[in-house]
Structure 1
Amino acid sequence: MTTLTVTTKGQITLRKDILQHLGVHAGSKITVHKLPNGRIEVMAEQSQGRISDAFGMLKREGRKPVSIEEMNEIIAKGWAGEL
């Protein structure tokens, strides 16, 4: 269990191990839910990214894109044990 101290401004600082557990970093947002009996639930806010954010994420400098036909050919060779 971790104990946190409330500052005179009513703030707390979450320790690095807790931030890592939540999977958050500087600039991330967290959500806090008030629960019964004075408890709270803290969760990392889920990203609301766009599908277009994923475009090009596997692109590598100096390599040409692989066509669907080439991918299918490589997959077939892999299943046949030719690779």
Structure 2
Amino acid sequence: MLEASMTSKGQITIPADVRRQMGLGTGERVVFTTLDDGTTVMRAKTRSIQDLRGLLKPEHKGRKPVAVEDMDIGKA
């Protein structure tokens, strides 16, 4: 089991073995998620929002896309 101690400023050094396993490098971000049972999960934030582009496919089903100019947004 790997351990780390916290400094007076609340900082923790992630052990080298964990950094290697997670593929973390200098300046990379991690995300902490607290689960309902009190467990905290740390994961590498490796994806940017741009990586998600195209993940969801549009549901056209025979419908043509509508241009923004043709929408009735905010028109009374």
Using structure 1 for the length normalisation, give the TM-score. Answer: 0.51
- 1-structure distance, mates of 2:35, 2:11: 19
Q: Which runs of 5+ in 2 are unaligned?
A: 52-76
4+ residue runs of structure 1 moved beyond 2 angstroms? 35-39
- Structure 2 match to 1:8: 8
The higher relative CO (CA closer than 8 Å, separation ≥ 6) is in 2
- Runs of 5+ consecutive residues of structure 1 not aligned to the other structure: 52-83
Report the CA distance shift for 1:39/1:50 in structure 2 as closer, same or farther (over 3 A).
closer
Shift of 1:25: 0.3
Closer/same/farther in 2, CA of residues 18 and 27 from structure 1, 3 Å limit: same
Q: Which has the higher helix share?
A: 1
**Which of these two proteins has the greater Rg computed from alpha carbons?**
1
Q: What is the alpha-carbon root mean square deviation over aligned residues?
A: 2.1
1:41 corresponding residue in structure 2: 41
Number of residue pairs matched by the alignment: 51
